[in-house]
Structure 1
Amino acid sequence: MKKVGFLFLLTLIGIVSFSFGQEIPFENEVKEITQRIKRDGYQVGSTLFTGSSSIRLWKNLQADFPDYPIINTGFGGSKASDLKRHLYPLVLQFNPSRVFIYEGDNDIHAGLSPEEIMQDLEQIILRIQVVDPSTEIFLISAKPSPSRWDKKENYLKLNKAMKAYCEEKDGVEFVNVWDIMLGENGEPISTIFIEDRLHMNEDGYELWKKVFEKYFPEK
């Protein structure tokens, strides 16, 4: 089957669970994101970041890694199942060479188990690799945040599952942002978050930049 056929099939898979006329979560936001990217222009083979609000709010992402063309399709409040549903418009249609995925944070908060989250992430990875087996994929660990610290153990279980999966799966790497965001007391560094104690400020993204730099070697 040709690549176009794969993309069409994956698009159908993404919407098959919804009945005719039923509102699809994030549909309008996804349209706005993709229309903006197409309007502004993008390069095939870019590095693409997607996932929930921690990606969407990384405003300096392109400036932080200027030697690499970057596409940001983060959509706030999303879970892995939402990315799976909108995988074609947010990822596949842009033909990236590398994809960084941040999902799982909102999933744990919503009461999903690490096993359920990994099932969705595995489906996302499978679909990306079916379309282009050469695509490099990176799973970003869940981050620690003060507002969700009561679910610490579940986040640690998810991160452990992500890491184990990446160690076994070809073409997929694990990006650990958890450790660098903890203080000497073993708890989240409070000064790297905005008032909601969930989303990061510029200092938080500076820490993320340090983690991601090794995945962006100077050209």
Structure 2
Amino acid sequence: MKDESKKLTRLDPKIKNFQEGLLKKYREANQKAQKGQIVFVGSSLMEIFPIEKMQEEHDLKLGKIIYNRGIRATTTKYLLENMNTQILDLKPSKVFINIGSNDIGFHVPEEEFLGNYDQILKRIKRELPDTEVFVMAFYPVNDKAVTAIDDRSNRALEEASSKIKQLTLKNGYQYINVNQGLTDKNGLLRDDLTFDGTHMYPKGYEIVLKNMMKYLK
């Protein structure tokens, strides 16, 4: 696990190739996608959220399509550089953002991390003034597994979430915490919901989706 983390922080060529391939796939899909729908965007924690499949299986009756534009191993800087493909080209009515945990794990300076986040929100406001934006609190992690990888502890994530909340409110958007039911009695991400201490199985996302429904409708 530790060796894998080091590869990610150096942006292993295989990861970079995957990112670029997925970005290309999204660009092509955007040409056929409907405008004014719902977009999920972020890093791997959003990419592996099987929301498109869940929407089809659960018949959520939202009256809108959900497009997932998450890309693994990305940071706020990456999203800022690729906002056209991941958000703006789709002209969504709602955007749900979960980005930044990699900034913490990759030791991006806090000033840079928060500055990027602020620019992301400001650009959405400038170019999509009618779009509703929901910034998500970071999911909890299971510290027992994660501390062996990087500094993505629950304490670090909670501190960052608090500062992101301030940025979100300053920009006039909604900050949401949809983590109820994800933790055990010690406040750690439940063992049965995660395969590595950070990333969740689909049943973890079922809980998140249930908590998100009032914002999706």
- Place the TM-score, normalised by the shorter chain, in its bin: 0.7 to 0.9
Is there any run of 5+ residues in structure 1 with no aligned partner, and where?
1-22
The answer to whether the aligner puts 1:30 opposite 2:28 as a matched pair is no
- With 92-101 and 141-150 compared, the bigger mean Cα shift is at 141-150
Query: Is the contact made by 1:45 and 1:96 (CA closer than 8 Å) also made in structure 2?
Result: yes
1:127 aligns to 2:123 (yes or no): yes
Q: Distance in 1 between matches of 2:111 and 2:213?
A: 30
Q: TM-score, normalised by structure 2?
A: 0.79
Q: TM-score, with normalisation over the residues of structure 1? A: 0.78
The answer to whether 1:75 aligns with 2:110 is: no
Determine whether 1:60 maps to 2:51: yes
Taking a change above 3 Å as real, the CA distance of residues 50 and 86 of structure 1, as seen in their structure-2 partners, is same
- When residues 186 and 201 of structure 1 are mapped into structure 2, their CA distance, relative to the original with a 3 A threshold, is same
**Partner of 1:148 in structure 2?**
146
Match of 1:92 in 2: 88
Q: Which runs of 4+ in 1 moved over 4 A?
A: none
Equivalent residue, structure 2, for 1:8: none
Asked whether the equivalents of residues 109 and 148 of structure 1 are also in contact (C-alpha less than 8 Å), the reply is: no
Aligned pair in 2 of structure 1 residues 113, 175: CA closer, same or farther (>3 Å)?
A: farther
1:46 is matched with which residue?
Answer: 37
The alignment's C-alpha RMSD in Å is 2.2
Q: Does 1:190 align with 2:191?
A: yes
- Of 75, 91, 98 in structure 2, the residue corresponding to residue 102 of structure 1 is 98
Instruction: Give 3-state SS (helix, strand or coil) of 2:74's partner.
Output: coil
Aligned to 2:209: 209
What SS class does the counterpart of residue 184 from structure 2 fall into? coil
Q: How many residues align?
A: 191
Q: 3-state DSSP class of the match of 1:210?
A: helix
Aligned-pair identity (%): 26
Q: 1:133 to 1:60 in 2, by over 3 A?
A: closer
User: Which ranges in structure 2 are unaligned for 5 or more consecutive residues?
Assistant: 1-15
In 2, are the aligned partners of 1:49 and 1:71 still within 8 Å (CA)?
yes
Give me the whole-angstrom Cα distance separating, in 2, the residues matched to 1:174 and 1:148: 25
